[in-house]
Amino acid sequence: MSGLPKSVVITDDTMREGLQIESADIAVSEKLRLLDALGETGAKVISIGSFAHPKWTPQMACIDEIAERFVPKPGIRYTAAVFNRKGFERADKYYPKIDVRTKRYSTHVELCDTFARRNYNRTQAQQIAGMDATIAAAREAGIEYGSVALGNPFGSNFEGPFTLEQRMELLELMMDRWHNAGFTVKRCSFLEAMGWNLPHQVRETLLEIRERWPEITDFHCHLHNTRGVTIASYYEALTLGVAEFDTSLGGMGGCPYCGNGRAAGHVPTEDFVDLCHEMGIETGYNLDKLLDATAIAEEVVGHPLWGHVSKSGPRPHGDRIYPADMPFVETLEEAAHYRNGPEVYADQLSPWREGDALTRGPAPPVAAK
pLDDT digits over 221-239, tens only? 999 999 999 999 999 999 9
Radius of gyration (C-alpha) of the chain in whole angstroms = 24
Residue 220 shares a structural domain with residue 332: no
**Does a structural domain hold residue 364?**
no
Listed in sequence order, the DSSP H helices in the chain are: 28-38, 63-69, 85-92, 113-120, 124-129, 131-140, 164-180, 199-212, 230-239, 269-278, 287-301, 309-312, 332-335, 337-340
- Identify the domain boundary among 275, 290, 312: 312
Task: Report residue 367's pLDDT band, with 50, 70 and 90 as the boundaries.
Answer: low
Whether 157 maps to a domain, the answer reads yes
Q: How confident is the model at residue 350 (pLDDT cuts 50, 70, 90)?
A: confident
268 in the same domain as 217: yes
- How does residue 318 score in pLDDT terms, banded at 50, 70 and 90? very high
**Is the confidence at residue 2, as pLDDT, over 70?**
no
In terms of residue numbers, what domain contains 88? Answer: 9-312
The mean predicted confidence, pLDDT, of the chain is 95
| Shared domain check, 214 and 198 | yes
Residue 31 domain-assigned?
yes
Q: For helices 230-239 and 269-278, what crossing angle results, to 10°?
A: 40
pLDDT of residue 352: 83
Same domain membership, residue 302 and residue 330: no
User: Rounded to whole angstroms, how far apart are CA atoms 271 and 229?
Assistant: 13
Residue 369 lies in a domain: no
258 and 342 part of one domain: no
Instruction: Report pLDDT for 83.
Output: 87
Same domain, 196 and 280: yes
pLDDT-derived band at 288, boundaries 50, 70, 90 = very high
Q: How confident is the model at residue 368 (pLDDT cuts 50, 70, 90)?
A: low
The confidence score (pLDDT) of residue 91 equals 96
Q: Are residues 292 and 344 in the same domain?
A: no
| DSSP-assigned letter for residue 216 | -
Looking at residue 239, what is its pLDDT? 98
- Give domain status of residue 365, yes or no: no
Query: What integer is the mean pLDDT of 43-69?
Result: 95
Residue 142's CATH number: 3.20.20.70
pLDDT at 159: 98
Same domain, 134 and 263: yes
Cβ neighbours around 74 below 10 Å, total = 5
367 within some domain: no
Strand 160-161, strand 107-110: pairing: unpaired
Number of separate domains in the chain: 2
Cα angle for residues 96, 97, 103 (degrees, 5° grid):
60
pLDDT at 84 over 90: no
Residues 351 and 250 in one domain: no
Cβ pair 329, 312 in contact under 8 A = no
Of residues 359 and 130, more confidently modeled = 130
**Count of Cβ atoms closer than 10 Å to residue 154 Cβ:** 24
Percentage of the chain beyond pLDDT 90 is: 92
Banded model confidence at residue 268, pLDDT cuts 50, 70, 90: very high
**Selected residue with higher pLDDT from 242 and 356:** 242
> Which pLDDT does position 366 carry in this prediction?
64
75 in a domain, yes or no? yes
Q: Pairing between strand 160-161 and 184-192?
A: unpaired
pLDDT at 42: 97
Predicted pLDDT of residue 289: 98
What average pLDDT does range 272-284 have in this prediction?
98
Whether 148 shows a pLDDT value over 90: the answer reads yes
User: Which of the residue ranges 103-107, 128-132, 174-178, 334-338 would you say has the lowest mean pLDDT?
Assistant: 103-107
Which pLDDT band, with edges at 50, 70 and 90, does 369 fall under? low
Q: Is the pTM of this model over 0.75?
A: yes
Separation CA 281–CA 289 (nearest Å): 18
Q: Which residue has the higher pLDDT, 354 or 142?
A: 142
In the predicted structure, residue 30 carries a pLDDT above the cut 80: yes
pLDDT level of residue 298 (50, 70, 90 thresholds) = very high
Query: Tens of pLDDT along 299-311?
Result: 999 999 999 999 9
Residue 1 located in a structural domain: no
Instruction: Please count the helices (runs of H) and the strands (runs of E) in the chain.
Output: 14, 10
Mean pLDDT of 61-76: 96
Q: Do 265 and 244 share a domain, yes or no?
A: yes
Same domain, 125 and 144: yes
Whether the pLDDT of residue 120 is over 70: the answer is yes
257 and 328 in a single domain? The answer is no
